[in-house]
Structure 1
Amino acid sequence: MTVPVLTALPGVAEALLVAAAGRSPRLDVVRRCADLAELLAAAEAGLGSVALLSGALAHLDHDALAALRGSGALLVGVAAPGDEREADRLRAWGVDALVLAPGDDAAADAVVREVLAALARREATDPAGTTGGHIRQAGTGSPAPWSPPPVPPRRAEPASSGSRPAAPTEPPPARGQLVAVWGPTGAPGRTTVAVTLAAELAALGHRTLLADADTYGGSVAATVGMLDEAPGLAAAARAAAQGGLDLPTLARHSPLLAPGLRVLSGLARADRWPELGPAALDVVWDRARDLAAVTVVDTGFCLEEDELLSYDTRAPRRNAATTGALDAADTVVAVGSADPVGLQRLVRGLDELARRPAAAGARLVVVLNRVRSSTAGPGGERALREALERYAGVQDAVLVPEDRPALDAALLAGRLLREVAPASPARRALVGLAGLVAPVPATPAPSAGAAAGVLPGVDGGRGGTHGGRRREAAGAARRGRALVRPGRRRAAAAD
């Protein structure tokens, strides 16, 4: 039984590999693709079980690799000899095997042996073919499930005979948590809850990252007063798609807003939503767990995934930023408005959330926002809790009182609620929410640098404290670009 192979390689390397595959009894090159579009079409049609692709292929990115992996093909990255950047990019994309482009027949035969070894590893990992994904078995028309292995690590250099024995490896540090703040349509105050929750988590001593993943109307930057906004999340997603998102890059795109609080701003224009590819965002959320103890993601409202019903090819997915964050979250904070219409939307939205298998494993915290006697009815808060328990099975909802004057003052000043009205009843309720969401008891940072969220080797000692903003304002005035209104902050991220 032969294994069908697809190739998308430049120059003489492809001819050498096709000839070497022809000498192997197990491999059969069925399509030599001219570009990425042809490779994707052939893979999605089930023509090949192995894809040999060059890291220099035009338009190749993380989303394209995810599409190829979804078709079930075993991905073998072919890097140019001596090009470490190309090899690192292929590793970051998570190819199943990484080889160097051959220059002669002997090197091509070595590549074929590596491909066969990768196939053997896959068969040993999943001999019964019971994991996710699909791959066509050569000689049959039946699909065999398959799940790709994790990203292959960089190979370690062999130790010399005189080298010291390796020290025992320390256990990896605990990774951060992801908190997705979601709410149904109708502006229930999702962004206000997300911003205040992130600020209170930072005040508790947790390194916090606030990300705006709303592809319909992102407003985190405007809420916290970031001027000259550049969409930091889009920039991070582009870096992830190109395989270059590391911690310093993510920190550069998420400037400090307050001690311990970073902001990854969202799209300034809703029509730029295609820049937030789902595969790239998965990488962003994974890197965010290493940058911050808690990542708070302000998501959109829509959970629909019917794009495939309208397209007969790979469909753009506007809601993938929201659904991907919900699926990756450790905790989902569902925000609803405390009025009859808002309660009805929240109950239906919670039922829709429960039907998502990935999100169903996350911890759910329900927040009723804008609680006021004029809409709660004669029973007040007790009536709201009884309605949630009866129709949604929610018993311990967090109720946030309406405090329009304090929230309006914070919004007009472009500052956090805890800075403008620390005694606000809305803020006190959200402090309690932060206590529920906080992963572990945090210790206040001992130094000013640590309090500002400075990470060794990432921030270079710069912090976004209030003093830093004053120096920034002075620099802006010297350059003739004065801040528009008092209290506003300027984002340091580059688009």
Structure 2
Amino acid sequence: MALQIVTAVTGAAWESALVGALDRADHGVTVVRRCVDAPDLLATAATGTAHAALLSADLRRLDGEAVARLAAAGVAVVGLADPGDERAAERLRALGVATVLPADASAEEVVRTLREAVAGRLPTGRDVADPRAALPAGDTAEPPGGERRPPRGRVVAVWGPTGAPGRTTVAVGLADEAARLGVPTLLVDADVYGGVVAQVLGLLDESPGLAGAARHAAAGTLDEAALDRLAWSVRPHLRVLTGLARADRWPELRPRAVAAVLEEARRVADLTVVDCAFNLEEDEELSFDTAAPRRNGATVTVLEEADEVLCVSGADPVALQRTIRALGQLRDVLPEVEPAVVVNQVRRGPVPGDPRREIAEALERFAGRPVRAFLPADRRATDAALASGRTLAEVAAASPLRAGLRSLAAALARVPEPEAGRRRGRRAG
């Protein structure tokens, strides 16, 4: 059977000659369509008539999402770049095209590469509506020559059930305390339902932030310099990628782009703290639509990519019930993720007896998870911080909540906690 391919190489002087050479009978290749832009290419791939696609970096509307959709449709992708144009080859690799050939390669070499790509294609078993289907199969964004630093930082996802367990308070506090310990830290607001990190820190929420970084990632132009320009520098060692100004802009945070942003974040910061949304559910009505974006795909991607996941729970019976159910849902969606539970707003009253002991026993019994840390309630300090758009360290340095966050931040960043902080933590306990 002839290998059916589509080409999407627009504006190149060598495109016609290449198509003519590929169409020779002895190559066993049939060019079923010459596409003019990415939507044309995706529409052709959706028909199932093509086994592979040849594309160039200058194809109109080409981005990482289009490459992921080609892979989900079962189409192997091979890139072509002008000889010596390393920038075009680098962009193709950044978009997820693993194999890039020079445009002056012989027709025999192109056909051989296409056949190898088709033979080595791994079926995903998922469509684009599944947020994990858009993740890159490996680190394809690394350009040749080793010019960029390898990823080395750690990513910590701060997640939790619906309600008000204080995910943002914990995320902001951890990032601030890690930065004050001298750890280069990046705080990312990835809440697609109502991110408020910018408001909590008194920053302009109309800045591009994470959405701008995701656009760069989709276009294959995200690097350390671009991420530096998009992140607010709040204080030494602390930068912030603000979230979506409006919840209806959630389609801008596609899973593959978010994964690429986190990969770049590992290069620019030793610790990246991500404030996540609560929801993990997958819409059954969308699961059969291969072109449908998933609102919760960004959250699932962050949890899957993170080195450590913190599940923030409240300390009252309603919040604990929500946490137990959320942990069960996380186990169903991402069984390989082992979250650490952080109980926030611990106080006497909502739970009879010793709240720490009762809460720890309940979570161990009904969720099978131990408690990593207890954070005491300090409403006066959190109100003062929110009213002034500053952090706990700035408005309530002696707060027991701040001491708990500092201890947890030191453990996550793997740096020693100052002796004064340990003494305050013991007094708070």
Shorter-chain TM band: 0.7 to 0.9
Taking only the aligned residue pairs, the percentage that are identical comes to 49
Deviation at 1:312, TM superposition (A): 3.1
CA deviations on 1:411-455 (whole Å, 9 max, x unpaired) are 1111111111121111122222223322x33699xxxxxxxxxxx
Q: Which residue of 2 aligns with 1:324?
A: 301
Moved more, 215-224 or 195-204: 195-204
The alignment status of 1:19 with 2:8, answered yes or no, reads no
Match of 2:109 in 1: 113
2:373 counterpart (394, 398, 401): 398
CA contact (8 A) 2:159 2:311 kept: yes
Q: Secondary structure at the match of 1:4?
A: strand
Do the aligned partners of residues 343 and 150 (structure 1) sit closer, same or farther apart at CA in structure 2, a change above 3 Å counting? closer
Aligned residue number for residue 7 of structure 2: 7
Give secondary structure in 2 for the equivalent of 1:99: strand
Cα deviation, residue 47, structure 1: 2.1
Q: 1:133 aligns with which of 121, 124, 129?
A: 124
Partners of 1:307 and 1:317 within 8 A in 2: no
Alignment of 1:403-418 (within 5 A): 403-418=378-393
Judging changes above 3 Å, is the alpha-carbon distance between structure 1 residues 232 and 442 closer, same or farther for their aligned structure 2 residues?
Answer: farther
Aligned mates of 1:421, 1:384 — CA distance in 2 = 27
Question: Does residue 280 in structure 1 map to residue 257 in structure 2?
Answer: yes
Look up the SS of the partner of 1:410 in the other structure: helix
Partner of 2:364: 389
Given the two structures, how large is their TM-score scaled by the length of structure 2?
0.86
Q: CA deviation at 1:206?
A: 1.6
Residue of structure 2 in register with 1:139 after alignment: none
Alignment of 1:79-478 (within 5 A): 79-80=81-82, 85-101=87-103, 107=104, 110-117=106-113, 119-120=115-116, 123=119, 126=120, 131-133=122-124, 151=140, 175-227=152-204, 229-306=206-283, 309=286, 312-357=289-334, 360-438=335-413, 440-441=414-415
CA drift of 1:229 comes to 4.0
Distance of aligned partners of 1:198 and 1:155 in 2 relative to their CA distance in 1, 3 Å threshold: closer
For 1:173 and 1:82, how far apart are their aligned partners in 2?
A: 24
Paired with 2:21 and 2:247, the residues of 1 have a C-alpha distance of 50
5+ residue gaps, structure 1: 102-106, 136-146, 157-168, 445-495
The 3-state SS of whatever aligns with 1:119 is: helix
Given that residues 205 and 243 in structure 2 are in contact (C-alpha distance below 8 angstroms), is that contact kept between their aligned partners in structure 1? Answer: no
- Alpha-carbon distance change, 134 to 98 in structure 1, aligned in 2, over 3 angstroms: farther
Shift of residue 55 of structure 1?
A: 2.0
What is the deviation of 1:338? 0.9
Once the two structures are superposed, what CA deviation does each residue of 1:117-159 show, in whole Å capped at 9, x if it has no partner?
3533775xx5xx7x44379xxxxxxxxxxx9675386566xxx
CA distance in 2, matches of 1:98, 1:375: 61
Deviates more, 1:47-56 or 1:214-223: 47-56
Q: Is the 8 A contact 2:168 2:197 kept in 1?
A: yes
Partner of residue 459, structure 1: none
- Residues 354-381 of structure 1 show CA distances to partners (whole Å, capped at 9, x for unaligned) of 1233xx4344210111112121223422
Distance of 2:340 and 2:137 partners within structure 1: 33
CA distance in 2, matches of 1:152, 1:222: 33
Partner letter of residue 114 of structure 1? V
Q: Measured at CA, do residues 219 and 46 of structure 1 come closer, stay the same or move farther in structure 2, by a change above 3 Å?
A: same
Query: Match of 1:488?
Result: none
Change (3 A) 1:443 1:342: closer
Distance 1:414 1:232 in 2: 18
Give the deviation of 1:343 after TM superposition. Answer: 0.5
Partner secondary structure for residue 309 of structure 1: coil
Contact 2:162–2:279 at 8 Å: present in 1 too? yes
Contact kept? 1:176, 1:292, Cα under 8 Å: yes
Cα distance change, pair 115–425 in 1 and its aligned pair in 2 (3 A): farther
Partner of 1:373: helix, strand, or coil?
A: coil
Q: 1:258 to 1:354 in 2, by over 3 A?
A: same
SS in 2 for 1:283: helix
Tell me how far 1:321 sits from its aligned partner: 1.4
Paired positions, count? 407
Question: Aligned pair in 2 of structure 1 residues 350, 220: CA closer, same or farther (>3 Å)?
Answer: same
Residue range with higher mean Cα deviation, 21-30 or 308-317:
308-317
Structure of higher CA gyration radius = 1
One-letter amino acid of the structure 2 residue matched with residue 291 of structure 1: V
| Deviation (angstroms), 1:231 | 3.1
**Which moves more between the two structures, 50-59 or 325-334?**
50-59
Distance in 2 (alpha carbons) for counterparts of 1:111 and 1:443: 62
* Deviates further, 207-216 or 415-424: 415-424
User: Which one-letter code corresponds to 1:214 in the other structure?
Assistant: D
Query: Partner letter of residue 286 of structure 1?
Result: E
Shift of 1:260: 0.9
Please list every run of 5 or more consecutive structure 2 residues that lacks an aligned counterpart in the other structure. 127-135, 419-429
TM-score (norm 1): 0.75
Deviations 1:66-106, CA, capped at 9 Å, x for gaps = 111222322122335675543332132131322344xxxxx
Residues 93/430 of structure 1: CA separation in 2 closer, same or farther (3 Å cut) = same
TM-superposed deviation, 1:332: 0.4
8 Å CA contact retained: 1:232, 1:253: yes
